[in-house]
Amino acid sequence: MIVAIVGPTGVGKTKMSVELAKKFDGIVINCDAMQVYIGMDIGTAKVTEDEKEGVPHYLFDICDVTKNYTVYDYQKDLRLLLEKYKDKNIFIVGGTGLYLKSGLFDFRFPLEENISNNYDELTNEELYKMALEKDKNMNIHVNNRKRLVRFLNKENIEIVEPKQLYNALFIGLTTDRENLYNIINNRVDKMFNNGLLEEARKFYDMHIESKALSTAIGYKELFEYFDGSISLEEAKELIKQRSRRYAKRQYTYFNNQLDVNWFNVDYDNFNNTINEVVEYIKKSS
């Protein structure tokens, strides 16, 4: 059985994945583009050893932050694990929709060496600026996100056909917008209390210039602060603002690209949501 747990940042996917893996004697596989990187822990809200509760976790902390781990890399690694653990219950968890779809659907990459990621954590304005730096005569509109991403990736992603290769259930966790935004804002504050500033400073002092650190929300803003271009409060507000915008883009992708069954999270009693999802899985398996 393969179950993908999706939804916006901060909604509760990590806790749900662990609880489901415990109940169904399964494993958890990461599907967050930034949680593959070693050391990017607090800023990506990576699952901790305590939170894993003894459940085997895969595709976390597998790539040095100086390297570029692409969607093509993820596709290969995910499919290897799906084959290796085909007799296990597998729970894929994360908010990077393109990674998930590339692994479970018939995506092909003609020019593997040129494949990049989907720039999901960048705003349209940031993508537009990067595109102009690549070609000052580029004439793609700033709001045409899809074309900007394709342009930056040299249009090397080819979807052969919209065919799903693996039988999987798509479970989505959601809550109302106001509550989600409050959760995101509070989580950013918690990240700072847990040492995000120090984590980002460590990478900054190492003078690492990698795609991961230049695109990941929480790090790029603090790098601006360390450079002296913005204040710490401005960096915090940017992290919150961009995280909220990222959540909106995640909803858009999952709703348009995957057949997701959505569940409203009961934050007063998370077990209610767990039980609801468990019953759905049992009926659908």
pLDDT of the chain, 285 residues: tens digit per residue: 999 999 999 999 999 999 999 999 999 999 999 999 999 999 999 999 999 999 999 999 999 999 999 999 999 999 999 999 999 999 999 999 999 999 999 887 654 444 556 777 788 888 888 888 777 777 788 888 878 887 777 644 444 446 899 999 999 999 999 999 999 999 999 999 999 999 999 999 999 888 889 899 999 999 999 999 999 999 999 999 999 999 999 999 999 889 999 999 999 999 999 999 999 999 997
- Asked if 266 and 234 sit in the same domain, the reply is yes
Helix (H) / strand (E) containing 52: helix 49-52
Domain count, the chain: 2
Are 216 and 166 found together in one domain? yes
Same domain, residue pair 160 and 221:
yes
What does the block give as tokens for 89?
Answer: 């219950």
Contacts of 271 (CB under 8 A, 6+ apart): none
Query: Do 97 and 221 lie in a common domain?
Result: yes
Beta bridge partners of 109: none
pLDDT score for 110: 56
Whole-model pTM: value is 0.82
Instruction: Identify the three-state secondary structure at position 256.
Output: helix
**Residues 221 and 245 both lie in one domain:** yes
On whether both 137 and 158 belong to a single domain, the answer is no
Q: Residue 159: its pLDDT value, please?
A: 46
Domain end (from 152, 171, 194): 152
Helix (H, G, I), strand (E, B) or coil at 271: helix
Which residue, 132, 152, 172, sits at the end of a domain? 152
Q: Are 265 and 214 found together in one domain?
A: yes
Q: What are phi and psi of 93, to 5 degrees?
A: -130, 135
Q: Residue 181: what pLDDT? A: 96
Structure tokens at 37: 């990187």
- For position 175, which CATH number holds? 3.40.50.300
pLDDT (0 to 100) of residue 160:
47
pLDDT value of position 190: 96
Look at residue 246 and give its three-state secondary structure. helix
Segment (H or E) for 252: helix 232-257
The parent domain of residue 243 ranges over 2-118+153-284
> CB neighbours of 101 closer than 8 A, spacing ≥ 6?
107, 257, 258
| 172 and 148 housed in the same domain | no
Final residue before a domain boundary, out of 152, 171, 204:
152
